């Protein structure tokens, strides 16, 4: 498995573990109600809850060569497409494989200077992403924290798994909530 790119390691490793009742334990009705209030509309969890496990010691932590992506787009672009919850099952230290998100990336215009396409190019080519993002209105958020923390993310945000440079297994789970049809 170590021969795979680190973000593919997460998928393979996570698929090996099945926890019956995980979705019901984490995506409680109270949490879904809170997420719906936050989103300003009724949202429904989709596809259950999946584990996100990263093996330890994946290499040196870096922002280069990551798999930045969005899970969904919205039409029109300003409409909420969904909210994703990330559940920290165990403590996740900084540089310990947490999901990274680019706060503000969902607000960029599709084209022109300072656009989403310019940001995607920067993500592929920058040698110092934190420096190059300075003043852009976009910032990197690392979803690290303590066991029991829940991070919520607008699904239009660019995000990526990160390298687990720690000596500990990264244990998170995720659930996606979408507007009711």
Q: What is the pLDDT of residues 42-66, one digit of tens each?
A: 999 987 899 999 989 988 999 988 8
What pTM was computed for the model? 0.90
163 in a structural domain: yes
Q: In 3-state terms, the chain is what percent helix, strand and coil (to 5)?
A: 25, 25, 50
- CATH (domain of 166): 2.60.120.620
- In tens, the pLDDT along 100-115 reads 999 999 888 766 666 7
pLDDT of 111:
65
Domain interval for residue 60? 6-179
The domain tally of the chain equals: 1
Burial 130-157 (b: 16+ CB within 10 A, else e): eeebeeeebebbbbbbeeeebbebbbbb
78 in a structural domain: yes
Supply the Cα-derived Rg of the chain in whole angstroms.
Answer: 16
Residues of the chain with confidence (pLDDT) below 50 = none
pLDDT of 24:
94
1 in a structural domain: no
85 in a structural domain: yes
């Amino acid at each position: 498995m170590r021969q795979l790119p680190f973000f593919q390691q997460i998928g393979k490793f996570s698929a090996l573990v099945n926890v019956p009742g995980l979705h019901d334990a984490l995506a409680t009705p109270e949490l879904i109600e809170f997420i719906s209030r936050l989103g300003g509309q009724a949202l429904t969890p989709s596809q259950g809850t999946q584990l996100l496990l990263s093996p330890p010691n994946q290499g040196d932590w870096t922002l280069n060569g990551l798999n930045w992506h969005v899970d969904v787009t919205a039409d029109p672009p300003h409409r909420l497409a969904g909210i994703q919850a990330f559940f920290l099952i165990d403590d996740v230290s900084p540089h310990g494989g947490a999901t990274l998100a680019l706060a503000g990336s969902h607000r960029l215009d599709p084209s022109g200077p300072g656009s989403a396409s310019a940001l995607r190019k920067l993500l592929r080519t920058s040698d110092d992403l934190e420096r190059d993002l300075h003043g852009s209105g976009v910032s990197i958020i690392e979803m690290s924290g303590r066991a029991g923390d829940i991070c919520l993310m607008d699904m239009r945000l660019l995000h990526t798994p990160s390298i687990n440079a720690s000596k500990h297994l990264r244990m998170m789970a995720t659930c996606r909530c979408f507007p009711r049809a």
